[in-house]
Amino acid sequence: MISISKPYIGETEQRAVAAVLESGILAQGPRVAEFERAFAEYIGVKHAIATSNGTAALCAALHAHGIGAGAEVITTPFTFIASLNAILYVGATPRLIDADASFNLDASQIESAITPRTRAILPIHLFGQPADMDAIMTIARQHELVVVEDACQAHGAQYGAKRAGSFGTGCFSFYATKNMTTGEGGMITTDDDAAAARARLHINHGMSVRYRHETLGYNFRMTDLAATLGIAQLKQLDAFNARRVETAQFYNAHFAALRGLLPPRALPNRTHVFHQYTLRVLPEFSLTRDALFAELQARGIGCGIYYPLPAHQQASVRASAWAQVHLPRADEFSQQVLALPVHPLVSNDDRALIVETIRALARQ
Ligand SMILES: *Cc1c(COP(=O)(O)O)cnc(C)c1O
């Protein structure tokens, strides 16, 4: 079976974890601080704050910008539920707009969604491709809105000369399937000194001086065990991403001529780091999306559907007033998308087999 995602864990990671175990410092210690410095430098921001996961990073970032009850946050529901849940955790209200053909938030719909309560825009750099940050930052400046980037799938992606996560306040996840991993883990990146200070308090029980708690906070801290993995993975991130891009280009070259398959498009002026390689299976294809999924799985090719239901239609939230929106592209994408294995451990033989299998199914 070629799996849809698989972390690359080498001897460096194994040795690094063993060294932390021997050191006896398992919770937050020197490796967390080192990982934060290295990650801030890599993203190109002043501050990086390590967290227990990406959801915690999103939550703390919103909180750090003072977003809570009464505030509206503009985002799109074609994403993992965590992007929306973070808005709900801080007591704010999602204001949903549709996605564009790149699967990201459609920046042309932002202005008409702004109300007197709007405080923030939360773009998601979905599947590893940055959202339209020029347009988003221009609107944010004009309307004095905060931008919190969900960069949980976009480690190392660039928009122009800047990295995803360096425009507003960035949030990353290091879950096992992401472009780099610490098992579970997350990071907040920002140039905003005040937001960084508030985020740090928020992830550590509101504590700046030992056992003095200034605000109500949480335990969203990263461990040194996770951070040591992160330090090792960050050094390999560019190589991991380069291999993902190469495999995506290989797929694109072979699928371009197949009727009814729409390969993902890498837009100009940005790099797509292909957290997922997501095709659209159109009605003209010889099989339905679900039939193609089943045929591939049966042939040992792991694939994924990200996401089968837009976030606002999930049972957990669909009764909410803000969820009563009709977003045709999000609906269409959830019916059409199919992700193929693109992680760095997909071999040349694996990807050739995947292309051959899909070509054969397309001819039937
Ligand atoms: C993974 C992910 C998250 C949440 O990260 P966790 O580390 O799993 O909490 C948030 N948003 C998106 C788009 C993600 O892919």
Per-residue pLDDT of the chain (364 residues), as tens digits, is 999 999 999 999 999 999 999 999 999 999 999 999 999 999 999 999 999 999 999 999 999 999 999 999 999 999 999 999 999 999 999 999 999 999 999 999 999 999 999 999 999 999 999 999 999 999 999 999 999 999 999 999 999 999 999 999 999 999 999 999 999 999 999 999 999 999 999 999 999 999 999 999 999 999 999 999 999 999 999 999 999 999 999 999 999 889 999 999 889 999 999 999 999 999 999 999 999 999 999 999 999 999 999 999 999 999 999 999 999 999 999 999 999 999 999 999 999 999 999 999 997 6
Atom number of ligand 1 nearest to Cα 275: 15
How far is residue 247's CA from residue 236's CA, in Å, rounded to a whole number? 17
How far is residue 180's CA from residue 37's CA, in Å, rounded to a whole number? 16
From 53, 55, 180, the mutation candidate for ligand 1 (largest count of ligand atoms within 8 A of CB) is 55
The confidence score (pLDDT) of residue 146 equals 98
How far is residue 200's CA from residue 194's CA, in Å, rounded to a whole number? 10
User: What's the DSSP call for residue 248?
Assistant: H
Atom number of ligand 1 nearest to Cα 82: 10
Write the CA distances from 139 to 111, 135, 161, 271, 301, integer angstroms.
7, 6, 20, 22, 43
The confidence score (pLDDT) of residue 128 equals 98
Whether the full predicted model's pTM is greater than 0.95, yes or no, is yes
From 62, 83, 274, the mutation candidate for ligand 1 (largest count of ligand atoms within 8 A of CB) is 83
How far is residue 134's CA from residue 286's CA, in Å, rounded to a whole number? 39
Phi, psi (5° rounding) for residue 43?
Answer: -75, -25
How far is residue 355's CA from residue 168's CA, in Å, rounded to a whole number? 39
Q: Are 61 and 45 in contact (CB under 8 A)?
A: no
Phi, psi (5° rounding) for residue 232?
Answer: -70, -40
The confidence score (pLDDT) of residue 257 equals 87
Using the structure block, give the residue that is written with the tokens 């994924």: 304
- Which of 67, 83, 143, 70 lies closest to 111, judged by CA? 143
Q: State the sign of the Cα–Cα–Cα–Cα dihedral 150, 151, 157, 163.
A: positive
With a Cβ cut-off of 6 Å, ligand 1 is lined by 53-55, 79-80, 82-83, 124, 150, 152-153, 173, 175, 186
The confidence score (pLDDT) of residue 363 equals 79
